[in-house]
Amino acid sequence: MSMRLRTICGPDGEIAAYEMTMDTTRVLIRVRTGRRTQKRIVLRADDGGLSVSAPPFARPKDVADVIAQNWRWIKEAHDRIQASKPKRLRIGDEVVLLGHPYVIASREAGEAALDEGQSTLWIPADQDNVHVRVCTWARAFAREYLTSRAAHWIETTGLSPSYVGVKSQKSRWGSCSSQRRIHLNWRLIHAPVPVVDYVIVHELAHLVHMHHGPAFWQLVERWLPDWQAQRAWLRLHGSELFVLDENADA
């Protein structure tokens, strides 16, 4: 595999990004300002793409060397981000619901419905815009399922919020306000059920502890002994839950 690395400078002459070319794959790695206390060069991958930050004493060559040495990780992260980008759905595509893939299929009569036995999401054959129909159905399904699952955990834990709602959130999987109002991100409908449960229990625990101290995590662990595995899943696969977007490109 051939690999090339070049710098991209901003108007001020400072390096703004590194461009890595691996065969036919081009990856842009943005430069982020490192903290004053930062001791090492750090590569990150998130919804916004790849970035690198470095301590004040690091030379551009040091940064370039770290990028070059981690080319395999960079390529894997880039491929993962590209695969998770929203796309417009068509008949025959798959959509993941509660951690399981379902094939989108059409039928002549009836409303959109989930057939778990056949791992199929059926939509009306006369539906012009398959993608929008699936998005609309998924959000409605999320509201129904997530509120029902929250009710289960409210009964199990004995913790009662003043309100439970489902909405779109860009940077949070859930939230709990000082008014005891809980909101859940509808995109959790794509995650496995244990992950959904973790987010719900996490927010319910905030009704007792509005912080993330030891007492908070002890309370979460009381109901979910494997909470760390679910949190790790979210950190690793969270970006994949944003694949369904009504405004996705064709």
E-strand ranges in the chain read 3-9, 15-22, 25-33, 42-46, 49-54, 94-97, 100-107, 113-115, 120-124, 163-167, 174-176, 181-185
DSSP 139-178: HHHHHHHHHHHHHHHHHHH----SEEEEE--SS-SEEE-T
Residue-level pLDDT at 47: 67
Q: Which of 83, 114, 137 is the last residue of a domain?
A: 83
Domain count, the chain: 2
Tell whether 250 is covered by a domain.
no
User: CA-to-CA distance for 107 and 120, rounded, in angstroms?
Assistant: 11
* 120 shares a domain with 25: no
Tell whether 249 is covered by a domain.
no
* 228 shares a domain with 151: yes
Write out the two tokens for 145: 């399922």
* 223 shares a domain with 168: yes
Q: Per-residue pLDDT for the chain (250 aa), expressed as one digit of tens each? A: 678 898 888 767 788 888 888 888 888 898 888 787 888 999 998 766 889 999 888 899 999 999 999 999 999 888 887 777 667 888 888 889 999 999 998 877 778 888 888 889 988 876 568 888 899 999 999 999 999 999 999 999 999 999 999 998 877 899 999 999 999 999 999 999 999 999 999 999 999 999 999 999 999 999 999 999 999 988 878 878 887 776 655 4
* 185 shares a domain with 98: yes
* 108 shares a domain with 227: yes
* 193 shares a domain with 118: yes
Q: Is 145 left (phi over 0), alpha (psi -120 to 50) or beta?
A: alpha
Q: How far is CA 78 from the centre of its chain?
A: 15
Tell me, yes or no, if the pTM score tops 0.85.
Answer: no
Q: Which of 83, 102, 126 is the last residue of a domain?
A: 83
